Structure 1
Amino acid sequence: MAMRALDKVVVVTGASSGIGRATAIDFARRGAAVVLSARSDEALHEVARECLDAGGRAMVVPADVTDQAQIHHLARRAIDAYGGIDVWVNNAGVIAFGRFEEVPDDVFAGVIATNFLGTVHGCRAVLPHFLERGEGVIINNASVVSTVGQRYATAYVASKFAVRGFSETLRQELVDEPGIHVCTVMPGTVDTPLWQHGANFTGRAIRPPGPVSAPETVAAAIVDLAERPRREVFVGAPGRVAEIQQAMAPGVSEWALARFYERNMFENRSAPHTDGAIRHPLPGHGVSGGWMAEHAAAGKDERRFSWTNLALFLLPIGLMSRLPMGAGGRHAF
């Protein structure tokens, strides 16, 4: 179903910052009515003003995606205000850093509840409406780590694998509903406040491992999915490469990625343990987390860093031809 964003009603969860904020503004710029949802009422009103300035319409409905009743209320408010919903973007997300055994149980559960169950709650809220109308687009933000692991982020990775598998299964259940689309977007490392808002139990300050993409790039991909729905879309080349290397050489890929994150995900300073934004929203709700500017300021060191990233991504594929073959003609990893 080819869909123009103009004159469409779009619900965006996690709209107060980062990818969600950029996505809401992009939809508004194209003339959509955007229903903004997140936990921070003040930040949502800031985004609403930006959407109005961009030429769209906007409504604020604060809600916590972990509460199914609040998300059903969000859907009802959107339908009552605009007569229906055309696109629902499940984008709300949080992250916790630390070794699995160091992350508290409630923090681990909080990541799963926001990232995965929040997506489930969004789909439960909007799917009956789409089934009644016979059309609609759901876009789930699953991240590149729905295809490969990420050291020190077990809960986040588990939640994103769940989102991707849930989306695949939901598409199967909707196979006889050609007007309803479930799309999965899988961005790589993005310059958002997620990194500053993450729970952290590593004892070290966190930084996003480059290369870092702009939130607006992901937002453009989401808007494009609303107009031209597809099953899955990677944003950025590293995600495609990582998926290929994981499929072809999983053992070596896991080793290389473990070393990659250990080397590139920490700053050279300590940091206290924190629950981050798991339980409550934190200040700092811009689109950007400031990381692209920091990487650009690194100049020559950043360029060298990018070449290191590329080598680590390609290492498993390069080693494949040198490793022994296992049963059935497959490499033994």
Structure 2
Amino acid sequence: MARVILITGASSGIGRAAAQAFAAEGANLVLASRSPEALAVVEAETKAQAEEVLTVPTDVADADQVEALFEQAVRRFGRVDAVVHAAAVLAYGRFEEVPTHVFDQVVRINLGGTANVSREALKRFRDQEGGRLVLVGSLLGMIALPTMGAYTTSKWAVHGLAHTLRIEARRTPGVHVSLVWPGSINTPVYDQAATFADRANRPLPPVDPAEKVARAIVRAVRRPRRSIPVGPLNHPVAWLFAALPGVFDVVATPMMKVLGTTKEAVVPNHGNVFEPRPDGEGVHGRWGRHWLRLAGMAGIAGLAGAAAKTHRRTSR
């Protein structure tokens, strides 16, 4: 019997790549995002391989809509075997430059949406005595960078919630919670982001494809693991942030300016924080892996060198 996989954020980026990956395995898919137009495109992409595809336009920040999403899934398929929560939005700008309502909406979607989806998933899993919940976190749930305060705040909270749910799930037989935390991924989220800076942003190198995260998600559903990093530098960067926070704080701003900012001037805008922009959605963004990967390695090597030098000075 084909598994039933419910995916939020399925219209773009990691969620869309995950939908394609599970479709290739012949799963039944329940696909959710805010954009009916984009969901229709993903349905057309996946229905040839998937057993069956149900699309449900859903704003994960609305608990009633999330409850309705699960009710439709169970009504159609009888159960939900796994839930992949990938929905998220991003806003750039120094903390005091990002309007309060934008900051609050990023947190509402990223954290509140995670809580809403997790609550409904765990309720269904308890009733059916089993299920897999995969939450998509971020390297920015382990470190902090300037101009990404709203996203970072929400992802730190998502990581905390994931850890709590995983511990609590130990008392519910058959229920497993996994956290997948990618580094920079080539998706449209950077061009879809709200911005209140004077220059457009880009992902910090090295940049991986969304399909790499999707493969990790598929593995997490097959064989749950507590924490799954996706990115060659996730562990080294997280270690530097924790072990040498003073050095990290010094280099974070110039690193972001050189590697995380383009020369493109932008007008402050809300991006897709309040309304979806289906014309900009897809699996991939416009950020390749080639020079970005080399630049990322060089940047981290420089950061490590500065950290080692500072550590030697302070150890004398």
TM over 0.5: yes
Question: CA offsets, 1:193-215, max 9 Å, x none?
Answer: 00000000001122222111000
For 1:174-209, what per-residue CA distance to the aligned partner results, in whole angstroms no more than 9, with x for missing partners?
Answer: 221241111101000000000000000001122222
- Cα 1:307–1:137 change in 2 (3 A) is closer
Q: CA deviation at 1:319?
A: 3.1
2:263 alignment counterpart: 268
Residue-pair matches, total: 315
Aligned equivalent of 1:75: 70
Which residue, out of 107, 110, 128, partners 1:112? 107
What is the DSSP-based 3-state SS (H/G/I as helix, E as strand, rest coil) of the residue aligned with 2:30? strand
Return the alpha-carbon distance in structure 2 between the equivalents of residues 150 and 321 of structure 1. Answer: 21
Task: Return the alpha-carbon distance in structure 2 between the equivalents of residues 281 and 323 of structure 1.
Answer: 50
Q: How does 1:152-163 map to 2 (within 5 A)?
A: 152-163=147-158
Check conservation: 2:2, 2:51, Cα contact below 8 A: no
**Structure 2 runs not aligned, ≥5 long:** none
Alignment of 1:183-198 (within 5 A): 183-198=178-193
Give CA deviations for 1:123-179 in whole Å, capped at 9, x if unaligned.
111211111222111111111110000210101000000000011111222221241
> Which residue does the alignment assign to 2:304?
314
Amino acid at match of 1:264: L
Please state if 1:226 is matched with 2:221: yes
Could you say which residue in structure 2 is the equivalent of 1:284?
280
| Aligned match of 2:33 | 38
1:150 partner SS: coil
- Shift of the alpha carbon at 1:246? 1.7
Say which of 6, 15, 20 aligns to 1:25: 20
Deviation, 1:307, is 4.1
CA distance in 2, matches of 1:12, 1:261: 31
Distance apart, 1:313 and its partner CA: 4.3
Matched, 1:165 2:160: yes
Structure 1: 5+ residue stretches without partners: 1-5, 326-330
Compute the RMSD of aligned alpha carbons.
1.7
Which 10-residue stretch deviates more, 12-21 or 168-177? Answer: 168-177
Q: What corresponds to 2:119 in structure 1?
A: 124
**Is the partner of 2:312 in helix, strand or coil?**
coil
- For residues 90 and 50 of structure 2, what CA distance do their matches in structure 1 show? 33
Which residue does the alignment assign to 1:305?
295
Q: CA deviation at 1:258?
A: 2.6
Q: Residue 35 of structure 1 contacts residue 58 of structure 1 at CA under 8 Å; is this kept in 2?
A: yes
Query: Partner letter of residue 254 of structure 1?
Result: D
Partners of 1:284 and 1:40 in 2: CA distance: 11
The secondary structure found in structure 2 opposite 1:324 is helix
Matched, 1:96 2:91: yes
What is the TM-score normalised by the length of structure 2? Answer: 0.95
Residues 57-72 of structure 1 mapped to structure 2, 5 A cutoff: 57-72=52-67
Shift of 1:305: 2.3
Q: Name the CA distance, whole Å, in 2 between partners of 1:260 and 1:64.
A: 34
Measured in 2, the distance between the counterparts of 1:74 and 1:60 equals 9
TM-score, structure 1 normalization: 0.90
Question: Residue 55 of structure 1: CA displacement?
Answer: 3.9
